[in-house]
Structure 1
């Protein structure tokens, strides 16, 4: 039986919107996430480090507003809500300098000069400040902009450094950084300016805006040369190399000013700004276009010259990397999943996990490196997923768009091969037959249970329409869960009407209703070995039901909130369940008791998947976390047995040391074995030998043993009988505590202080009583008659 599951991997949100920076070599992406910067390794697909506070707090104390990376990738500069600018050393991962910006309000944008000696900060107070990073002094307060700064960028010519900036007034200002004076004002946009780039020779300026145009300007005169209509709000603008080959062709271009844009259509477009020509339009975008006019689709666009790759960030916080030469998708990273609603494990040898979140896109991850793929097809939130052991590469999904889709995994790519759209409302549950993948079942908020026929073969180049083979009005309220028995003969459904029902799979004939839950039933599942059903409910209980007579056999109580998912383990002898209380619980079916509880989530655990062999469990919840748990029962047992063996050896060794009168080694062993009584005996023996030997012995202990000895002394100090050895320990260690070399806990110090004061008062009273006895003796002596006279 399973006893212990431990979380070995926790995949959290690493990008929640805001700024992104890409290292020069293209190996690392710096992502804004709450009050921290998460450093993502592109090759591993995992966060390897972070800057700032990585704790999951409900309230962020000093929110990080924006950041930028220096040109050599050695330092990160960040602006915070408190008004502080912080400099982070990327080697040490810590702040090495900070100072106040003096802006009246938040800092919206940061920009660094090419040599990283000058920093520009753009605030919401209609001002830009220029800082000398060598002396950390403000060189200039640049004026001329009105509103919140939307873009800042430096350009350095042979002898002059220029700063370009724009704000809510849509006018582009150019300042001479040395003098701090405005040298140029470019007026032409009618909405927020989102990007400014200067051509390689420094002759032209290109700007983009949410007014759906890009403008080419003459750098020397400030005159407009070309206004290029894009018919989409632009959020990203990057300058491309002077010479490159157009994606997917052999055509090489050179001699122009080439830029790439990204905006509300969700695609990257390449332009020749001088010839006003669109050179390339992306055809393979995985980002949906904005649902509203002038809405967001692409939020960030970066071009890495070293790798000739594009980095695109979407409004759903997904990060995609494309190659310029072929425009193939090289990497996809899911920055933020919002609520995880369902998880299934698919692929040969359980190679992938498929995740449904608060999105119309299904996320598929490769388990060994967490490389991801976005599966597009649904037009509204995907709420349920289903797989089948008969074909591990086949799975189904259901959505709030009233449709189900069937997907096939081939060569690590998932294709939509079938769809069904005959429900009248959101489909909350879907299931595939287990013994043979011959049919799919779906249940909707329209309370109807439907059966769909699956073909024997699929073609990943074609999406067929599923044929419906049966429908029944199954429940009075929403259907939450559907499951098919291991032999494909029975179907069970669970609903918010507080019931679960049993059906024949052939023609959806009702066999019976399971009544007993006091609130809606979330899930239902069959036992792999016995003729029983398992249900979980919002009434915080799990129940096991007999299939033969539909009676309730057992009820499991222990969750403090709704039980959202549960499965049988160990051939039906155990149950694993997840709840709204954020706990994963392991149950013994025979005793109906909870044998273990595991805590790693910070909210409801909606999703639970058990890998074949039950060695691995994967959970997801409303905290946007994916947690991978491993069965560590054998490891824990072996560690426990090894620990007992080592303890027995140490106890024998301790007895040998005591017999040989080797008190120093005996003291160390007694401390490591957590034997306060033996430590006290050894310490009293040391006291009897004299203070010099005692001090030498304690001084030879390492810091850990001294800490343990002080903990023992705090326990002895609570008893007046053993206060003397306790005070001796405190006396020997007090100097190290005062110097900070030894750092006991606050509780230990408070306990030692309180009992020491009590012992001091008691001993003071005893001393007074002793002096009174002595005084009485002296006074009585002249009046006493010696004995014998």
Structure 2
């Protein structure tokens, strides 16, 4: 590619969740799977694939729950903040099984009428149903099938979106073939969020939006105490209510039969309305804090409510003052709660604790399961990042479960899995453990990375892809691209700053502000050893030695205390690992080994040490820091000796990297330069610099022939070392690049993993070889087509030559084809253009032809060709068809201006030709004869004597 590299973004992990509640829905069915089959399977033991709906600022995101893949996003048209989301999945009604209360209460005649209406709707399609706002205003009308999302914003707006599946080429094209729905679909697909309607729903910010069980109505609550119910698909307001306390609406609940509407406020007030009569039944003040969840018993006689005051209150609905029947106090400091059924309650606490209770009107409150929060330490305070902000029952999208009069009466006793969203913007899937007493985290969807401080890739063939260190005490391991994390390393008491992975990926080392190094086994994902006592300040960087064995494995650490330490992991860590052929120790029985460093250097630098790197042959160890110097160390015999000090940078050195093939060390500095140091002469052999922006990261790749750097402005640059020039640069991030790693695999492209302070992790792919192959293939095809074009011109096949020249994007050859064709046979040329060639062109080809014509018409030499083309285009296409093409309109305006100029010029030439006729008539005789007048006069003079002589002779 002429000395330049080609890079593109393969995937990126960007912020997806910024707080608030999380909703779930049924993902649209793949092509070939009917909605009816999914509806029947959803009620069985094999539910369809689930999607999670969440908000990040002014953007709505839909993720595949099983993999964390981002399927669709929708950004609000105006700058706004989303306060609440809700989702519902509406399946087609099946008359063979009772669905909603309306379906149960209907008689046979109504069912027959509804069935006829549904058949008519199925013939017309769902899209036509949505476009027609007056579908069926009767009380028994159902909402059109599909998955819908409601959004409430700070600027008083409510948006309703529809989720549609974008079918890929790999999906089945034969929709008539029978397809069995499965719980998971391995094929890749994407979805699109289409806005259906948006309107101003209140005079204050929208705090709550919630669909009813049937999906037909949407309840919105505002911060001024107003509650409105909307018929979404017929687009009209059905209820306009207000709670007596006139305080912020915090939660709402509509019973499955749509008879009662319960509203709770942020100050603890609860009101119950008649949903049909639109009147207030009762209200009270059972709580002194925000009410997190509401639920009614199946007979609508008692109301359950739980608030942040830790009280679970049971009230009688028929009492005028909402009298309290019973109340309980839970142990947890409630931050969120959800009723899975009228008699099962899930509670999330501020310390990350999750508890499940069995609730009854006459029975005592019983604890079914309890999971102690990870943020609760035995010798430390609770971490605010572990607070559970939202709870959601997994595999239970609204609209998929049967919500009739018997809803909640039957309880099989089996606990469901839960999604818990915490204050750190992570969404964890919690499954009931085998012991039957708690929950365990199966996976985590990381909604926001915060600052990416470090990342390390795992070797090829390992089940996991990367380990990422963010501004948190937890370190997460990712098996795939995206936000899906299935392993979390917890144990540090403060923020982790750096990590390292051993050569065989058997050990992960992490260190940070708690001044200790933890060694994790990738077989059990537990801490097997702890290095303690080596540093008195933050540990800023760690690195394993390159050539590792069972007898020798060393870890080097540097910190803000100016110290360099060597930790003998081969002696203390390797024996604690579960080896192949031996039973792994249970996590509860394993006790981490605590050990001290083997050797070290105090005051290795005059200031904080920022970077450490080990040579591929374990000959040298390099450190650099705030004192602008790079020190080389020799660690022969597990002891450290200084070899040299490399000086040349004008500011602090932030990153180091050894070449994998040459004896060269690269150092990146805050002065904006990258220096290459020879390990033989111990001198700077090359300095690379573009600007003065601090360079934060540097790494070798491509056999040591190229460098990649990341600076404080978020720019990645790739350097060719031999030419000392930048071969590619890209503004990948909006903040400084704090983490950078290179993934090189055999027979695969190079992958650059970069993380920055903006909370975005980007994987940039090197596709130089692929692009070079594509260019070679295009050049080869172009040469063949150019030869075909020359052969067609030689044989007089002008139609084929015209299409080839247009396809090759060669305006000069196309002009020559038209000129030769018009000279040889102008009538055939014009007829072929008007009747066969131009009507067969696509819109893109026609646009390209008109662009060529615009270039020709600017030159007077080729205006004839341009006029012929324009005449043929206007003869082949109606002017309305040309005006309907937005791109063609601007070109026609330019062509019209130039054609008018050429027309005026031709008329002027024609007018001037009349002067030739005038001159020729003015200079010549009035009557043109075969002989000039003077010859005729001379003949008359000579003939007079002859006539006289002949007359005399006759006399």
The answer to whether TM tops 0.5 is: yes
Quick check: 83-92 or 111-120, which moved more? 83-92
Task: Indicate the RMSD between aligned Cα atoms, in angstroms.
Answer: 3.3
Whether 2:639 is the aligned partner of 1:639: answer: no
Among candidates 273, 277, 282, match of residue 370 of structure 2? 282
Given the superposition, is the C-alpha separation of residues 368 and 777 from structure 1 closer, same or farther in structure 2, using an over 3 Å criterion?
A: closer
Task: Tell me: CA distance 1:373–1:513, structure 2 relative to 1, closer, same or farther (3 Å).
Answer: same
Structure 1 residues 533 and 647 mapped into 2: Cα distance closer, same or farther (>3 Å)? same
CA distance in 1, matches of 2:78, 2:487: 31
**2:941 aligns to what?**
none
Q: Residues 341 and 621 of structure 1 are in contact (CA less than 8 Å); yes or no, is this contact kept in structure 2?
A: yes
Map of 1:206 onto structure 2: 304
Q: Identify the structure with the greater helix proportion.
A: 2
CA shift for structure 1 position 304:
3.6
Pair 368,775 (structure 1): closer, same or farther in 2 beyond 3 Å: closer
1:236 aligns with 2:365: no
Deviation at 1:409, TM superposition (A): 0.6
Q: Quick one: which of 407, 427, 446 aligns to 2:539?
A: 427
Q: How many residues get paired? A: 764
Work out the CA distance in 2 between the residues paired with 1:756 and 1:238: 68
1:56-105 Cα deviation digits (max 9, x unpaired) = xxx96354443211252622222345544333222263435314234113
Deviations 1:652-697 (A, max 9, x none): 2222222232223222221221211011122334555233322122
Are the structure 2 counterparts of residues 420 and 740 from structure 1 closer, same or farther at C-alpha, using a change threshold of 3 Å?
farther
Residue in 2 that maps onto 1:694:
833
Residue pair 1:264, 1:296 contacting (<8 A) in 2 also:
yes
The correspondence for 1:21, drawn from 17, 20, 23, is 23
CA drift at 1:399: 1.5
| Between 584-593 and 259-268, the greater mean CA deviation after superposition | 584-593
Residue deviations 1:765-785, cap 9 Å, x none? 663575467479759966876
In the alignment, is residue 398 of structure 1 matched against residue 511 of structure 2?
yes
SS at the partner of 1:654? helix
Distance 1:737-1:640 versus aligned 2 partners, 3 A rule: farther
Equivalent residue for 2:806? 671
Q: What secondary structure is seen at the aligned counterpart in 2 of 1:90?
A: strand
State how far apart, in whole Å, the 1-side matches of 2:66 and 2:277 are. 44
2:530 counterpart of 1:418:
yes
Distance 2:474 2:539 in 1: 16
Query: Is residue 660 of structure 1 aligned with residue 662 of structure 2?
Result: no
Map 1:241-252 → 2, pairs under 5 A: none
**Which of 428, 431, 437 matches 1:320?**
428
1:193 is the counterpart of 2:291 = yes
1:533 Cα deviation after fit: 1.0
Question: Greater shift after overlay, 539-548 or 25-34?
Answer: 25-34
Structure 1: unaligned runs, 5 residues or longer:
243-256
Alpha-carbon separation, structure 1, partners of 2:831 and 2:744: 65
Counterpart Cα distance in 2 of 1:582 and 1:457: 42
Larger radius of gyration, structure 1 or 2? Answer: 2
Q: Secondary structure at the match of 1:23?
A: strand
With over 3 angstroms needed to count, the CA separation of the structure-2 counterparts of 1:656 and 1:780, relative to structure 1, is closer
Give how far 1:744 is off: 5.7
Checking the alignment, whether the CA contact within 8 Å between 2:673 and 2:692 is kept in structure 1 is: no
1:579 paired to 2:682: no
| In structure 2, distance between residues paired with 1:295 and 1:648 | 63
Stretch of structure 1 that moved more, 196-205 or 666-675: 196-205
Q: Is the 8 A contact 1:267 1:281 kept in 2?
A: no
2:25·2:50 contact (CA, 8 Å) conserved in 1? Answer: yes
1:366 Cα deviation after fit: 0.9
2:703 is paired with a residue of what secondary structure? helix
Distance between the aligned counterparts of 1:286 and 1:733, measured in 2?
A: 73
CA distance in 1, matches of 2:849, 2:153: 44
Q: Give yes or no for contact 1:485–1:491 (8 Å, CA) kept in 2.
A: yes
Deviates more, 1:349-358 or 1:570-579: 570-579
The structure 2 residue matched to 1:309, chosen from 412, 417, 423, is: 417
Q: Mean alpha-carbon deviation: is it higher for 287-296 or for 166-175?
A: 287-296
> Corresponding residue for 1:135?
234
Of 707-716 and 86-95, more deviation after overlay is shown by 86-95
Is structure 2 residue 615 aligned with structure 1 residue 485?
A: yes
- CA deviation after TM superposition for structure 1 residue 313, in Å: 0.8
Task: Using the TM superposition, give the Cα deviation of residue 298 of structure 1 relative to its aligned residue in structure 2, in angstroms.
Answer: 0.4
- Find 2:576's aligned residue among 458, 461, 486: 458
Cα offset, 1:148, TM superposition: 2.7
1:592-617 per-residue CA deviation (whole Å, 9 max, x = no partner) reads 22233355444433222223547442
- 2:488 corresponding residue in structure 1: 374
1:319 positional shift: 1.2
Name the structure 1 match of 2:633. Answer: 503
- Give yes or no for contact 1:77–1:85 (8 Å, CA) kept in 2: yes
Post-superposition offset of 1:316: 1.1
Q: Helix, strand or coil for the counterpart of 1:715?
A: helix
The more displaced of 280-289 and 185-194 is: 280-289
Instruction: Give me the whole-angstrom Cα distance separating, in 2, the residues matched to 1:125 and 1:74.
Output: 30
The 1:422–1:666 alpha-carbon spacing in structure 2 relative to 1, beyond 3 Å, is same
Q: Does structure 1 conserve the Cα–Cα contact (< 8 Å) formed by 2:678 and 2:684?
A: yes
SS of 1:536 mapped into structure 2: strand
Deviation of the 1:149 alpha carbon: 1.9
Deviations 1:13-56 (A, max 9, x none): 32222231123646221222333332222233312x214139xx
**2:521 matches 1:408:** yes
Deviates more, 1:470-479 or 1:301-310: 301-310
2:446 aligns with: 334
Q: CA deviation at 1:297?
A: 0.8
Distance 1:498 1:717, change over 3 A: farther
3-state secondary structure, aligned to 1:653: helix
Q: Is the 2:374–2:386 Cα contact (8 Å) retained in structure 1?
A: no
Distance 2:501 2:75 in 1: 38
Aligned to 1:683: 818
The 2-side partners of 1:12 and 1:350 are apart by 24
Equivalent pair of 2:386/2:424 in contact (CA under 8 Å): no
Does 2:211 align with 1:112? yes
Are the aligned partners of 2:600 and 2:639 in contact in 1 as well (CA < 8 Å)? yes
Distance 1:740 1:323, change over 3 A: farther
SS at match of 1:679: helix
After alignment, is 603-612 or 307-316 more displaced? 603-612
- Measured in 1, the distance between the counterparts of 2:761 and 2:223 equals 37
Is 1:152 the counterpart of 2:252? The answer is yes
Partners of 2:351 and 2:384 within 8 A in 1: no
Q: Partners of 2:831 and 2:155 in 1: how far apart?
A: 55
- Partner Cα separation in structure 2 for residue 554 and residue 294 of structure 1: 49
Q: 1:736 to 1:521 in 2, by over 3 A?
A: farther
Matching residue of 2:63: 40
C-alpha change, 1:583 and 1:672, in structure 2 (3 Å) is farther
Partner of residue 650 from structure 2, selected from 501, 504, 518: 518
**Alpha-carbon separation, structure 1, partners of 2:423 and 2:491:** 18
TM-score by length of 1: 0.88
TM-score of the two chains, using structure 2 as the length reference: 0.74
Q: What SS class does the counterpart of residue 790 from structure 2 fall into?
A: helix
Give 3-state SS (helix, strand or coil) of 1:22's partner: strand
Is the strand fraction higher in 1 or 2?
A: 1
Q: Are positions 1:446 and 2:540 aligned together?
A: no
Q: Is the Cα contact below 8 Å between 2:282 and 2:317 reproduced in 1?
A: no
| Inter-partner Cα distance in structure 2 for 1:181 and 1:422 | 71
CA distance in 2, matches of 1:271, 1:380: 33
Deviation of the 1:650 alpha carbon:
1.2
2: CA distance, partners of 1:738 / 1:356: 60
* Aligned position for 1:215: 313
